[in-house]
Amino acid sequence: MDEIQAKERIAILSDEIRKHNHQYYVLSCPTIGDFEFDQLLAELIRLEKDFPQLAEPDSPTQHVGGEITKEFKQVEHKYPMLSLGNTYSEEEIREFEERIQKITGDEVEYVCELKFDGVAIGLTYRNGQLMQAVTRGDGIRGDDVTSNIKTIKSIPLKLMGNDFPAEFEIRGEIILPHASFEKMNEQRLEDGDDPFANPRNAASGSLKMQDSAEVARRNLDGFFYYLPGNEHPFNTHYECLTAARSWGFKISEYAVRCKTSEEIFDYINTWSVARYNLPFDIDGVVIKVNNLKQQEKLGYTAKSPRWAISYKFKAEQAATKLLSVAFQVGRTGAITPVANLQPVQLAGTVVKRASLHNADIISALDVRIGDMIFVEKGGEIIPKIIGVDFDKRPDDAMPLKFISKCPECDTVLVRTEGESAWYCPNENGCPPQIKGKLEHFISRKAMNIDSLGEGKIEILFDNDLVHNCADLYDLTYDHLIGLEKTYESSDEKKDRKISFREKTVANILNGLESSKNISFDRVLYALGIRFIGETVAKKLACHFMSVEKLQEAEFNELTEVEEIGEKIARSIISWFSFSKNIELINRLRIAGIQLSMDESIVLKLSDILSGKTFVVSGVFEKFSRDELKKTIELHGGKNIGSISSKTSYLLAGENMGPEKRKKADKLAIPIISEIDFINILEAK
């Protein structure tokens, strides 16, 4: 077969296999047997191997996987991937409907859909081909998992028809069907591995696997339910779903249009029972305004759309016996009581442990060893104790006392006023805290030193080589070579041994050296300062630009930064007040760690708003609030959350809160409109 013949045959096979994939994985209506399908796929794989120049990025063979991804690149969402507001009551659904009617003033139709219990994903298509797949992440940016998403056979790599937009994004949920979940766990048990707790965790873990061929073997699936933006010509959400189905996407057949509360409640009541007959997990129902112009008018809050809400099904409960309580120490020193239970089946999994959260919860529940307690899965994932069957309490059951000393280092515990948790203050001498901080420092979203994972931090700590993150950069070949540790397992014949041989040591040292290029915002997050997560670290780093300026910042300067409240400000000031932390920073600086932001990373379009601070409030015509805030930052301005005498402008849209306007008037803060703001930018 020559190249021309091969090209023709590859095109025929690709088209035929796509159709069969759609019939089998999307429509659940196969038209040929597995053997015949495998023969077609094997022929295509063989031809692409013989003529690699003819292999296309949207070939059906991509579903087989094989690409290795060492690190998942972070990608900023074109449109923020917001979460939905949740409710568990019919009353709040009625209140939601009343708000919608009041704002729109029109007749409103809703679309009710199943709320899939999976992992949110956004797919971008260009000219009908899948270009990128990004997880939710923090809602602003997520991980590029394109190579793994391509292995999911129900997701089209090339769209059907020709009436789709030239470029668009579609969002949905990646799930693991029950059959795939059970098969996977059976295999894990055979291999001596712990089974996954639930399908959602398994789906999430699968998407982050480095070997896409392994992901392909897990048989993930996906449902799609939303086209963000205005790149499409449709007037309603339901039209979007219908069109997406015609392009080859798996759209739930259970989505329905409703006009009244009664129809919405009928849908909820039906699926609260029928969900147990589905081949996959759902944890509620989503109600959306159907008309897209009404959606636009309703707009968004900072975290969720105003035109949609999710009704969460009440969690399942079970009764079991409390056998004992253990107290665990986290990396921040917080003490968490964990209940050890008589194993009980709950929401599809066996529950053996449950969190008791803190001393106040223990006291409020009056829980005691030997009690029959009621366990619930909060969000159908995390088990928690919600009550005690006092009628079955043993006569000799004694009140459960919260410990007064750390179970690991015997330090007297402390409790900050206004907080519920007890803490071990011995952060530099308490083993779980030290190891927890080190594990946080090397984690993927922090310094990303994956060569130090899998128990290696514990080995270094046990050998007295590391006590803080700066110690990592003092490690040498001679320190590491030959270290080893054997970990006990449930099967004594399969104890796991970690040895630091030549390759392991080289990988560790290379990983430490590479981490010196990690940007300051991630370094700041890696330091593990209390209350500073990824997003807050990014805002602080971009605002102050260096650790020196952050260290010198006063309380009022910190709280002026968007999303930085009093609690975070106090935590930062407290952290920098300790000489040991200043010494740590100095050692990291000597090691070559990035402790200032590269100005080229903090992109600016102009400095026209330099020195100006804005409070953005209300609903806008031409921009969303997030887009306005981003535009302000791109032109050198700063966003703050509340009005003060230092505010330069209140950028006001429709439905702005009256209190903000009143405060702006009182402080003589200029109130500008969206048009005024655009004119300021164009004046440059």
Q: Distance between CA 88 and CA 268 in Å, rounded?
A: 11
Looking only at the bridges linking them, the beta strands covering 308-312 and 86-87 are parallel
Alpha-carbon radius of gyration of the chain = 28
Q: Distance between CA 419 and CA 415 in Å, rounded?
A: 7
Residue 569, helix vs strand vs coil: helix
Q: Where are the beta strands (DSSP E) in 165-248?
A: 167-175, 221-226
Burial of 33 (0-12, 13-18, 19+ CB in 10 A): exposed
Residue 327, helix vs strand vs coil: strand
Q: Distance between CA 435 and CA 437 in Å, rounded?
A: 5
Give the torsion sign (CA, 319, 321, 327, 330).
Answer: negative
What are the b/e assignments for 426-459, b being 16+ CB within 10 Å?
bbeebbbbbbbbbbbbbbebbbbbebbeeebbbb
Q: Which amino acid is at 189?
A: L
Give the alpha-carbon dihedral of 628, 629, 630, 636, to 10 degrees.
Answer: 110
Residues in contact with 216: Cβ distance below 8 Å, sequence separation at least 6, in sequence order? 63, 64, 65, 151
Q: Distance between CA 46 and CA 153 in Å, rounded?
A: 19
Burial of 178 (0-12, 13-18, 19+ CB in 10 A): middle
- Identify which of 139, 143, 114, 428 has the alpha carbon closest to the alpha carbon of residue 279: 114
| Residue 115 annotated in active site | yes
- Identify which of 548, 566, 546, 547 has the alpha carbon closest to the alpha carbon of residue 556: 566
Cross-strand bridge partners of residue 317 = 376
- HEC letters along 92-157: HHHHHHHHHHHHHCCCCCEEEEEEECCEEEEEEEECCEEEEEEECCCCCEEEECHHHHCCCCCCCC
Q: Distance between CA 668 and CA 588 in Å, rounded?
A: 46
- Identify which of 584, 541, 595 has the alpha carbon closest to the alpha carbon of residue 564: 541
Looking only at the bridges linking them, the beta strands covering 119-126 and 638-639 are unpaired
CB 363 within 8 A of CB 395: no
Q: Distance between CA 48 and CA 42 in Å, rounded?
A: 10
CB 344 within 8 A of CB 350: yes
> Which of 115, 150, 250, 288 does the annotation list as catalytic?
115
What residues act catalytically?
Answer: 115
